[in-house]
Amino acid sequence: MSPASMTQKYSTISPSLAVGNDEPDRNLALELVRVTEAAAIAGGHWVGFGDKNTADGAAVDAMRSFLQTVHFNGVVVIGEGEKDEAPMLFNGERVGDGTGPEVDVAVDPIDGTRLTALGINNALAVLAVAERGSMFDPSAVFYMEKLVTGPEAADMVDLRLPVKQNLHLIAKAKGVKVNQLNVMILDRDRHRPLVEEIREAGARTKFIMDGDVAGAIAAARSGTGVDALMGIGGTPEGIVAACAIKSLGGVIQGRLWPTSDEEKQKAIDAGHDLERVLSTNDLVSSDNCYFAATGITDGDLLKGVRYSKDKVLTQSIVMRSKSGTIRFVDGEHRADKWEGYARKS
């Protein structure tokens, strides 16, 4: 069965969800879960096969097909793939069925393509939606310096402060000692000085290979064992994470980090102040935004896709900032409905 015919068949058995004409409706959240489920199921067939681009391409195709069934008039403003020449839903691409509210769409069909290829934890299929014109345009600056923490210290931290001072502020807000804090950070050579600062301040580090959307959510949610995320990661992932943090009540602060003189000049030509610290509201200005993610591999946030002879099991999270609602969704799908996305041997 082709992806197009599968999409049509799937959509005919799904309930029709009404969406207001002027702004995204609360029921949109459940439509978005269908999209991330599709991407996760398609990409999940390639877990552990060592081919991140093929996995990403499968997830992109599935996400694109299912996005066309969603009742909105969307434009992809944050797409993935350009920075590593991987398959992508491109910036400016129109998505949705062309009716309903006009929205910005941020996509990451696989946040953690290398994690997927190697069968490592914390790969997600991710999608965020906000009212049109509300998502930050980074003008092709693919990386940013980030600081994420939960609601307790959201009004206290500042990316411009020394690392040690921010950690003491977080510890004070949480009512713990600094040596009880866990700071999540991407395992990159560029972070060696930052790691030294964190440890000299007395806090612990928790490394992740990739997937800083999941890391940002862990830093903003209580009960995860992660108190902050620090370091340089993807700008698209930062904007996607901001949509989730809007619901969680934490904070993400970012500062653009061009990787070349050419990229720096493009940012300056686009009017960006490279010293400016961007707040959560700068990254996503709308108070009515949505975040959805489905696990591809098992992780701290979600279980990965599980396949059996007749069923496919998924676990997703969906958030809406306007109500502050967070839902976990366990999906059970008939395997024969997804044959078109199965890995070909």
Q: What is the pLDDT of residues 315-326, one digit of tens each?
A: 999 999 999 999
Does 63 lie in the same domain as 35?
A: yes
Does 323 lie in the same domain as 261?
A: no
108 annotated among ligand-binding-site residues? yes
In a domain, 126, yes or no: yes
Does 214 lie in the same domain as 188?
A: yes
The pLDDT value recorded for residue 1 is: 41
99 annotated among ligand-binding-site residues? no
237 annotated among ligand-binding-site residues? yes
155 annotated among ligand-binding-site residues? no
Q: Which of 283, 299, 323 is the last residue of a domain?
A: 283
In a domain, 259, yes or no: yes
250 annotated among ligand-binding-site residues? no
Does 246 lie in the same domain as 120?
A: no
Does 129 lie in the same domain as 185?
A: no
In a domain, 178, yes or no: yes
234 annotated among ligand-binding-site residues? yes
Residues of the chain with confidence (pLDDT) below 50: 1-20, 81-86, 345
Does 235 lie in the same domain as 151?
A: yes
SS (H, E, C) the chain: CCHHHHHHHHHHCCCCCCCCCCCCCCCHHHHHHHHHHHHHHHHHCCCCCCCHHHHHHHHHHHHHHHHCCCCCEEEEEECCCHHHCCCCCCCCCEECCCCCCEEEEEEEEEECHHHHHHCCCCCEEEEEEEECCCECCCCCCCEEEEEEECHHHCCCCCCCCCHHHHHHHHHHHHCCCHHHCEEEEECCHHHHHHHHHHHHHCCEEEEECCCHHHHHHHHHCCCCCCCEEEEEEEHHHHHHHHHHHHHHCCEEEEEECCCCHHHHHHHHHCCCCCCCCECHHHHECCCCEEEEEEECCCCCCCCCCEECCCEEEEEEEEEECCCCEEEEEEEEEEHHHHHHHCCCC
The pLDDT value recorded for residue 12 is: 29
Does 191 lie in the same domain as 113?
A: no
190 annotated among ligand-binding-site residues? yes
188 annotated among ligand-binding-site residues? yes
Q: Which of 265, 283, 301 is the last residue of a domain?
A: 283
- Count how many domains the chain has: 2
113 annotated among ligand-binding-site residues? yes
84 annotated among ligand-binding-site residues? no
The pLDDT value recorded for residue 339 is: 76
Does 179 lie in the same domain as 192?
A: yes
261 annotated among ligand-binding-site residues? no
Does 154 lie in the same domain as 254?
A: yes
Q: What is the pLDDT of residues 27-54, one digit of tens each?
A: 788 899 999 999 999 999 999 999 999 9
| Domain CATH code at residue 191 | 3.40.190.90
In a domain, 298, yes or no: yes
| Domain CATH code at residue 332 | 3.30.540.10
327 annotated among ligand-binding-site residues? no
31 annotated among ligand-binding-site residues? no
Does 264 lie in the same domain as 224?
A: yes
Does 178 lie in the same domain as 90?
A: no
The pLDDT value recorded for residue 100 is: 87
pTM above 0.85, yes or no: yes
Q: Which of 283, 303, 329 is the last residue of a domain?
A: 283
Does 278 lie in the same domain as 294?
A: no
Q: Write out the residue range of the structural domain in which residue 167 sits.
A: 143-283
